[in-house]
Structure 1
Amino acid sequence: MLKLWGRGSSVNVQKVLWALDELGLPYAHVPLGGPFGGLDSSDYRALNPNGLVPTLQDGDGSLHWESNAIVRYLAARYGAGTLWPEDPVARSAADRWMDWVPTTLGEPMRVLFWGFVRDPVNADLNAMAAAETRLAELWGRVDAHLAAQPFIGGERLTMGDIPLGCHVQRWLGFPITRPDLPHLAAWHARLSARPGFARHVMVPMQ
């Protein structure tokens, strides 16, 4: 059986939980990090030397960390033709948007999350204002991409929707002014109808 370590309030853990549900895979979940602690224990560091979440162990003993890499692994091993597009062109679309999350979207999302949720007392209001402006432009790019198709990789949900979907849920929860992005809103509505997204991603930010 698959075993996942990480607290469910972590956006990176939510990606994996949602992917597991989409694939219908049985798994054991061990809450770790945040109020649960345990990241610095020698047992956990032996699994993941970074001391971060999530970490996934497959039944054959293979270990995986870094959330997008875990989603890719699960999709490739268990989701051929569903989360893992068999067409290389569609798979490339999913891949590039997955990589776009940490390289481009992640930093301004982190600024708003820390400012509104994690440490509002010490929030840098100028940095938050800049992040809000930047995110309006970045989510506009996603909206334009979705104008021609219902999901990130094409006509059906793929691994490419998972990291972006987790982050758009957070962005929509921030108390900010957002532009009107109808294609993004329709995509979010499609994601919200999926049980795994509703169960693991549509939860309060902590």
Structure 2
Amino acid sequence: MLRIWGRISSINVRKVVLCAQVLGIDFERIDAGLSFGVVNTPDYRSKNPNGLVPLLEDGDFTLWESNAIVRYLCAREGSALYPQDIRQRFDAERWMDWQQTELNPASGPAFKQWIRTPAEQRNPQVIAASVAATEPKFQQLDEHLARQPFMAGDALTMADIPIACEVHRWWGLPQPRPAWPHLERWYAHWLALPASRGVLDLPLS
């Protein structure tokens, strides 16, 4: 059985759990990080020297970095989520990298202010700057999904998983947002999947 270390409140842990559930893989998840501790113990650091979550254990093989774990699980299962066509595969890879390097850094500050910062300590300017940086990226996603049903073509691939977790986090914030009809259609598909339970239906924390 796979073991996933990390608290479900982490967007990066949610990616891995969502992926495993979509693939129908049995796994054990162990809380780690923030108030749960664990990540600074010598044993954990020997497996993930970064001291972050998630960490995947597959027998004697360990892997960290959430998007790498998603890729690994999809390839391990021989799933259609890991495209065999090289152009489609790297299209999916591109969007996964974009999530990490563009969307997540833009959206993270507003999340941390709204959810992880006491109300009396919140900085409205940080929230406003995060919104200004993030909304054009969701508009970009909406325009992309106007041209095709899913991130890398006509069916779900590994690329859709990190984006779904970003949408879950952004739409869970107590703030207004523009209408993005194509993104909303795409996300409704996710919410209808039984595999999204326990991930995309959870409140932020």
TM class, shorter-length = over 0.9
Task: Name the structure 2 match of 1:201.
Answer: 200
Task: Name the structure 1 match of 2:188.
Answer: 189
Question: Which one of 105, 108, 119 corresponds to residue 107 of structure 1?
Answer: 105
Matches within 5 A, 1:1-206: 1-59=1-59, 61-80=60-79, 82-120=80-118, 121-206=120-205
CA offset digits 1:83-140 (Å, max 9, x no partner)? 1011122212211110001211111211111110011443221121121122111100
4+ runs deviating over 6 angstroms: none
Which stretch shows the higher mean deviation, 159-168 or 24-33?
Answer: 24-33
Equivalent-residue separation in structure 2 for 1:64 and 1:5 (angstroms): 11
Q: Residue 198 of structure 2: SS of its match in structure 1?
A: helix
Equivalent-residue separation in structure 1 for 2:24 and 2:122 (angstroms): 40
Give how far 1:159 is off.
0.5
Q: May I ask how many residue pairs the two structures share in their alignment?
A: 204
> Is the CA contact (8 Å cut-off) linking 1:132 and 1:176 kept in structure 2?
no
Equivalent-residue separation in structure 2 for 1:79 and 1:19 (angstroms): 13
Cα RMSD of the aligned pairs, angstroms, is 1.2
Equivalent-residue separation in structure 2 for 1:153 and 1:202 (angstroms): 24
> Where does the alignment leave 5 or more consecutive residues of structure 1 unmatched?
none
Give how far 1:16 is off.
0.4
CA offset digits 1:152-182 (Å, max 9, x no partner)? 1111111000111001011111122211110
Q: What TM-score does the superposition give when structure 1 sets the normalisation length?
A: 0.94
CA offset digits 1:62-81 (Å, max 9, x no partner)? 1100100100111111143x
Equivalent-residue separation in structure 2 for 1:26 and 1:126 (angstroms): 43
Q: What TM-score does the superposition give when structure 2 sets the normalisation length?
A: 0.95
Opposite residue 13 of structure 1, the aligned amino acid is V
